[in-house]
């Protein structure tokens, strides 16, 4: 967020497209069986059954997204969440239509 704020401070127009897959990344919607999740950046792995943590995970994820939205709003940065399972161009078109109405 500090990089985005820096760009905004330098009078750049900043738009954050937060691309997430709603089903897996937002809702942790996996069949109830054991999975090994691996962090692609650190290589750390976690062996679990998604149903055991789904409620807490969704709550933490909602807090995470809310924090992003709040910081963007406070910094006058446009924030748009896009589900990677849907068409990106439709998400972009929705954003542009919303923005057009604001002008």
Rama region for 35: left / alpha / beta (φ>0; ψ in -120 to 50; rest): beta
pLDDT score for 47 = 95
**CA separation for the pair 60, 28 (Å, rounded):** 12
Encode pLDDT of 11-46 as tens digits: 778 888 889 999 999 999 999 899 999 999 999 999
Report yes or no: 83 and 9 within 8 Å, Cβ to Cβ: no
pTM assigned to the model: 0.74
b/e for 51-89, b at 16 or more Cβ within 10 A? eeeeeebeeeeeeeeeebeebbeebebebbbbbeeeeee
pLDDT score for 21 = 92
């Amino acid at each position: 967020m500090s990089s985005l704020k820096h760009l905004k401070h330098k009078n750049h127009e900043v738009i954050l497209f937060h691309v997430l897959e709603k089903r897996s990344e937002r809702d942790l919607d996996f069949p109830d069986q054991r999975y090994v999740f691996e962090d692609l950046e650190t290589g750390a792995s976690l062996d679990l059954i998604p149903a055991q943590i789904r409620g807490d995970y969704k709550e933490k994820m909602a807090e995470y997204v809310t924090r992003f939205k709040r910081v963007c709003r406070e910094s006058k940065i446009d924030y748009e969440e896009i589900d990677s399972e849907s068409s990106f161009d439709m998400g972009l078109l929705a954003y542009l239509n919303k923005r057009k109405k604001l002008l």
